[in-house]
Structure 1
Amino acid sequence: MAGGAPQPHKVMGVADLAMFYVVTGVSLRWIATAAAFGPSSIVVWVGALLCFYLPFVLAIVELSSRYPQEGGLYIWTREAFGPYIGFMAGWSYFTSNLPYFPSVLYFDAGNAIYIGGTSWLHLRGNPVFFMGFALTALAFITAVNIVGMRFGRWLHNLGAVGMWGPALIVILLGAAAWWQFGSATHFTPASFVPVFDIQHMIMWAAIAFALSGAETASFMSGEIKDPRRTIPRALPIAGVVIVSCYIIGTFAVLLAMPSSEVNTLQGLIQAGAVAAEKVGAGWIVVPLALLITLGNLGAASGFLSCAARIPFAVGIDRLLPPVFAKVHPKWGTPYVAILVQGGLGAVLCILGQAGTGVKGAYDVLVSMGIIAAFLPFALVFLAVIRLQGRPSDVGLTRLPGGRVTSTVFACIGLVTTLTALVLAAFPAPDEPNKLLAVIKIFGLTAILLGSGTLVYFLGQRAARKAA
Structure 2
Amino acid sequence: MAGGAPHPPKVMGVADLAMFYVVTGVSLRWIATAAAFGPSSILVWIGAMLCFYLPFVLAIVELSSRYPQEGGLYIWTREAFGPYVGFMAGWSYFTSNLPYFPSVLYFDAGNALYIGGESLQFLRGNPVFFMGFALTALAFITAINIFGLRFGRWLHNLGAVGMWGPALIVIVLGFAAWWQFGSATRFTPAAFVPVFDIQHMIMWAAIAFALSGAETASFMSGEIREPRRTIPRALPIAGVVIVSCYIIGTFAVLLAMPAGEVNTLQGLIQAGAVAAQKVGAGWIVVPLALLITLGNLGAASGFLSCAARIPFAVGIDRLLPPVFARVHPKWGTPYVAILVQGGLGAVLCILGQAGTGVKGAYDVLVSMGIIAAFLPFALVFLAVIRLQGRPAEHGVTRLPGGRVTSILFACLGLATTLVALVLAAFPAPDEPNKLLAVIKILGLTAVLLGSGSVVYILGQRAARRAA
When normalised by structure 1's length, the TM-score is 0.99
Note the alpha carbon deviations across 1:265-324, whole angstroms, 9 max, x for none.
000000000000000111100000000000000000000000000000000000000000
1:393: Cα distance to partner? 2.7
Q: C-alpha separation between the residues in 2 aligned to 1:25 and 1:236? A: 12
What secondary structure sits across from 1:3 in the alignment? Answer: helix
Report the more deviating stretch, 215-224 or 384-393: 384-393
What residue is the counterpart of 1:365 in the other structure?
A: 365
1:394: Cα distance to partner? 3.1
The answer to whether the 8 Å contact 1:66/1:394 transfers is no
What is the RMSD computed on CA atoms of the aligned residues? 0.8
What secondary structure sits across from 1:400 in the alignment? Answer: coil
The answer to whether the 8 Å contact 2:158/2:298 transfers is yes
What residue is the counterpart of 1:142 in the other structure?
A: 142
1:2: Cα distance to partner? 6.4
> Sequence identity of aligned pairs in percent?
92
**Unpaired segments ≥5 residues, structure 2:** none
Runs of 4+ in 1 over 3 A off after TM superposition: 1-5
The answer to whether the 8 Å contact 2:60/2:215 transfers is yes
What residue is the counterpart of 1:250 in the other structure?
A: 250
Note the alpha carbon deviations across 1:74-126, whole angstroms, 9 max, x for none.
00000000000000000000000000000000000000000000000000000
The answer to whether the 8 Å contact 2:30/2:206 transfers is yes
The answer to whether the 8 Å contact 1:183/1:255 transfers is yes
The answer to whether the 8 Å contact 1:80/1:387 transfers is yes
Pair 133,2 (structure 1): closer, same or farther in 2 beyond 3 Å: closer
The answer to whether the 8 Å contact 2:2/2:325 transfers is no
The answer to whether the 8 Å contact 2:276/2:282 transfers is yes
Note the alpha carbon deviations across 1:310-347, whole angstroms, 9 max, x for none.
00000000000000000111111000000000000000
Question: Aligned pair 1:173/2:177, yes or no?
Answer: no
**Unpaired segments ≥5 residues, structure 1:** none
Q: C-alpha separation between the residues in 1 aligned to 2:150 and 2:421? A: 36
Q: C-alpha separation between the residues in 2 aligned to 1:394 and 1:423? A: 41
Q: C-alpha separation between the residues in 2 aligned to 1:140 and 1:399? A: 41
Q: C-alpha separation between the residues in 1 aligned to 2:2 and 2:208? A: 40
The answer to whether the 8 Å contact 2:228/2:396 transfers is no
When normalised by structure 2's length, the TM-score is 0.99
Q: C-alpha separation between the residues in 2 aligned to 1:56 and 1:441? A: 25
Note the alpha carbon deviations across 1:54-75, whole angstroms, 9 max, x for none.
0000000000000000000000
Question: Aligned pair 1:329/2:337, yes or no?
Answer: no
1:396: Cα distance to partner? 2.3
What secondary structure sits across from 2:328 in the alignment? Answer: coil
Note the alpha carbon deviations across 1:363-386, whole angstroms, 9 max, x for none.
000000000000000000000000
Q: C-alpha separation between the residues in 2 aligned to 1:92 and 1:376? A: 6
Question: Aligned pair 1:342/2:351, yes or no?
Answer: no
Pair 124,4 (structure 1): closer, same or farther in 2 beyond 3 Å: closer
Q: C-alpha separation between the residues in 2 aligned to 1:244 and 1:392? A: 34
Q: C-alpha separation between the residues in 1 aligned to 2:418 and 2:234? A: 27
1:397: Cα distance to partner? 1.0
1:160: Cα distance to partner? 0.2
What secondary structure sits across from 1:394 in the alignment? Answer: coil
Report the more deviating stretch, 394-403 or 102-111: 394-403
Note the alpha carbon deviations across 1:378-429, whole angstroms, 9 max, x for none.
0000000000001123332132100000000000000000000000000000
Q: C-alpha separation between the residues in 2 aligned to 1:394 and 1:339? A: 38
Pair 392,114 (structure 1): closer, same or farther in 2 beyond 3 Å: same
Note the alpha carbon deviations across 1:415-445, whole angstroms, 9 max, x for none.
0000000000000000000000000001100
Q: C-alpha separation between the residues in 2 aligned to 1:242 and 1:108? A: 19
The 5 Å alignment of 1:24-423 reads 24-423=24-423
1:5: Cα distance to partner? 4.0
Q: C-alpha separation between the residues in 1 aligned to 2:231 and 2:103? A: 28
1:144: Cα distance to partner? 0.5
What secondary structure sits across from 2:243 in the alignment? Answer: helix
Q: C-alpha separation between the residues in 2 aligned to 1:350 and 1:405? A: 45
1:6: Cα distance to partner? 1.4
Note the alpha carbon deviations across 1:14-68, whole angstroms, 9 max, x for none.
0000000000000000000000000000000000000000000000000000000
1:4: Cα distance to partner? 5.9
The answer to whether the 8 Å contact 2:5/2:330 transfers is no
1:3: Cα distance to partner? 11
The answer to whether the 8 Å contact 1:42/1:251 transfers is yes
The answer to whether the 8 Å contact 1:381/1:413 transfers is yes
Q: C-alpha separation between the residues in 1 aligned to 2:17 and 2:331? A: 20
